Structure 1
Amino acid sequence: MTLATSIIGADPDRDAPVLQRWLADPHAAFWGMGGLDVDDVRDYLASVVADPHQDGWLGLVDGAPTFFAETYDPAQVLLRGIHDPLPGDLGMHVLVAPPGDEPRHGLTDAVFAAVMAWCFDELGAERVVVEPDARNDRIRCKNLRAGFTELRYVSIDEGDHTKTAVLSVCTRDDHARSELAAVAAPELARTGIPA
């Protein structure tokens, strides 16, 4: 499978309808945003892109919207007082579109590797920080394959509830030595991810 992938800044008006469909799908349950309508998602995206400590990114594969990523300063957003940040730490979330009728084998690995490359190469991260829900075994496994080290369980206030999360970190070297980077590297070299 050859992927032409690019990452662009999120636009609340353009991206809210497609992101709302993705969030409403059961595969996105751990985002906790399945009940939002398009206007709610637009407002959410607008708050993310207006905040100087975080940003949203739309990922395109072969020109079609396929994933959404958020990046944030963990010293200022979400993990303030929970995580002891180092200079160059960058928080990250990623959501891949539902697979649809014709799932593409290896797509999520390539997307995840593209987002990691974006964080390190384009955004200058020294270390990527994630805090998946402790019950989300699939993303925790993906994180480990990408080179993340799970540090500890933490409680994160998400407004209407508290999430038990697994604080995890990954340096550029950790990712470069990871199973996921080894699997995705030939694909990334051919397609120039991220563009």
Structure 2
Amino acid sequence: MPELIKPADNRAALNPAFGLRPLCLDEDVATIQPWYQMDYAHFWNMQNMSIEATIDFYRDAATHGLQAYLGYYDDSPAFVLECYDPRRDLLGDCYPVQPGDIGMHFFVGPSQRPIRHYTRDVLRTVMAFLFDALAAQRVVVEPDLRNERVHRLNRLVGFVDAGTMALPGKTARLAFCSPHDFAQSLEEQAP
């Protein structure tokens, strides 16, 4: 397994059990494809994709600039991060893209047991990676308007709502998070 990228030492509020590495599609697809078949995965619109279709999706998306990462918790696969340049996506036609904007999707795989603040800590790890390792100046998300759970999580890590928009297949809630807003969210919430 390639070495995991861990949260920066200067972010004490982050859970050090989490890390991530670039997705190795041929090796990792057998892990992530079943996750997308779960009932709670319906917002990802990948529930009917075979392993081959999942591979095709990620290979095609990579040609348009999508970068995917596999996240780990205690050295076991736990989540997927997708990040992209909004200027190379339909989203870039819906708002004024700024230099340093990075679009983001994340998906949490099934957990073996309940862990307090698990999904929040996944998202904190994702955000720290985007700001610290990828030098994002602002993170942009566009989850389905009906996905209340992710909207709540986004607010917990500092996202600010910027309204709704129509995107192919969904009405989305646009939100932005700056490095300052993320850092402030870490200070306001106990680990």
TM-score by length of 1: 0.85
Contact persistence 1:132–1:165 (CA under 8 A): yes
Distance in 2 between residues matched to 1:179 and 1:142, nearest whole Å: 13
Q: Which residue of 1 aligns with 2:33?
A: 20
Distance 1:180 1:146, change over 3 A: farther
Distance in 1 between residues matched to 2:187 and 2:149, nearest whole Å: 14
The 3-state SS of whatever aligns with 1:177 is helix
The 3-state SS of whatever aligns with 1:79 is helix
Contact persistence 1:68–1:94 (CA under 8 A): yes
Q: Does structure 1 residue 142 correspond to structure 2 residue 153?
A: yes
Q: Which amino acid aligns with 1:136?
A: N
Query: How large is the Cα RMSD of the aligned pairs?
Result: 1.6
Contact persistence 1:67–1:94 (CA under 8 A): yes
Q: Which residue of 2 aligns with 1:68?
A: 80
What number of residue pairs does the alignment pair up? Answer: 177
Show CA shifts across 1:54-108 (max 9, x none).
20011011111100000001111130211211111000000001234x1222211
Matches within 5 A, 1:44-63: 44-51=57-64, 53-63=65-75
Distance 1:181 1:167, change over 3 A: same
Q: Which residue of 2 aligns with 1:174?
A: 181
Distance in 2 between residues matched to 1:137 and 1:75, nearest whole Å: 26
Q: Which residue of 2 aligns with 1:193?
A: none
Where structure 2 has 5 or more consecutive residues not aligned to the other structure, the ranges are 1-14
Where structure 1 has 5 or more consecutive residues not aligned to the other structure, the ranges are 185-195
Contact persistence 2:78–2:111 (CA under 8 A): no
Distance in 1 between residues matched to 2:139 and 2:162, nearest whole Å: 13
Distance 1:142 1:180, change over 3 A: farther
Distance in 2 between residues matched to 1:15 and 1:154, nearest whole Å: 33
Distance in 2 between residues matched to 1:141 and 1:168, nearest whole Å: 12
TM-score by length of 2: 0.87
Distance in 1 between residues matched to 2:162 and 2:103, nearest whole Å: 14
Q: Percent identity?
A: 34
Q: Which amino acid aligns with 1:4?
A: A
TM-superposed deviation, 1:179: 5.8
Q: Which residue of 2 aligns with 1:124?
A: 135
Distance in 2 between residues matched to 1:155 and 1:26, nearest whole Å: 24
Name the structure, 1 or 2, with higher relative contact order (CA <8 Å, separation 6+).
Answer: 1
The 3-state SS of whatever aligns with 1:86 is coil
The 3-state SS of whatever aligns with 1:128 is strand
Distance 1:106 1:86, change over 3 A: same
Distance 1:181 1:10, change over 3 A: farther
Distance in 1 between residues matched to 2:44 and 2:75, nearest whole Å: 25
Distance in 1 between residues matched to 2:137 and 2:188, nearest whole Å: 17
Distance 1:98 1:181, change over 3 A: farther
Runs of 4+ in structure 1 displaced over 6 angstroms? none
